[in-house]
Structure 1
């Protein structure tokens, strides 16, 4: 999967906006989070976001914040307090849950068929306009075996969009 740009994020936003009001409700956002194995109560999500709905610009900010947080969580600085260490462990656990959603057959790898299957179930795959899943995997397949292992998946997910 390529790093997500504003066009990709807008497409995701519109797919999540089930009622078409150009706002993502907590329920709509939580649906996606649950699909990738991240579970929050609606009150926890509201506390995290500080509001009950997000417009597209706020969704972009949310995505950017999560991407930057995950990227910076990858680096452990000496002298950081235990909360930062816990954040890194939590981020790794969340990535492992997301990886397991895509690794349908449980073999420890994500194939292009598995990627397309999950994207289709999430409503994020459009055969007419979609990119070839093999080429998406190829971008992050550092050992060139044609599938993504967890480390390759983690690198893909932590890459920030430009």
Structure 2
């Protein structure tokens, strides 16, 4: 990602969360110590695990935007509200950004190895075989990897 001149704009989550149980699962992934709130350190840690070089200033801006009650933490309701926010472009830009984080080698496809690497960084206990099953479940053209079109199809769940 290249630095943006208009760096006061905070990007929305790079996924479409279809229901509250999905929101809770993602929230729990960010809430690494399990205290029911996301600190700036936890947010920074997840961003780093995803391969983002988010600066401390950017983390602060993200916290300010999401932390509506200004207690210094993001609670589940604030996170859910943020996930529901309209991005204006139908989320395509955010999806592309998420895809690029998984596509470590920049070849335009997410391989089994790349998926395994990212999930391992995020603390998931999964095998290469688990990742292969995940890839196969969305690999429409059968090439053994996930293209952006397949990723978009999976993440948007056919919704516009």
TM-score normalised by the chain length of structure 2: 0.63
Query: Aligned in 2, Cα 1:10/1:111: closer, same or farther, shift over 3 Å?
Result: same
Give the Å deviation of 1:53: 1.5
Q: Which has the higher contact order (CA 8 A, sep 6+)?
A: 1
The Cα RMSD (Å) is 3.5
Deviates more, 1:19-28 or 1:30-39: 30-39
Identify unmatched segments of 5+ residues in structure 2.
1-16
- Cα separation, 1, equivalents of 2:63 and 2:43: 11
- Cα separation, 2, equivalents of 1:160 and 1:54: 30
Of the candidates 53, 62, 65, which is equivalent to residue 82 of structure 2?
Answer: 62
Normalized per residue, the structure richer in helix is 1
- Cα separation, 1, equivalents of 2:24 and 2:125: 14
Task: Look up the match of 2:6.
Answer: none
Identify unmatched segments of 5+ residues in structure 1.
75-87
> In the comparison of the two structures, how many residue pairs are matched?
137
TM-score normalised by the chain length of structure 1: 0.62
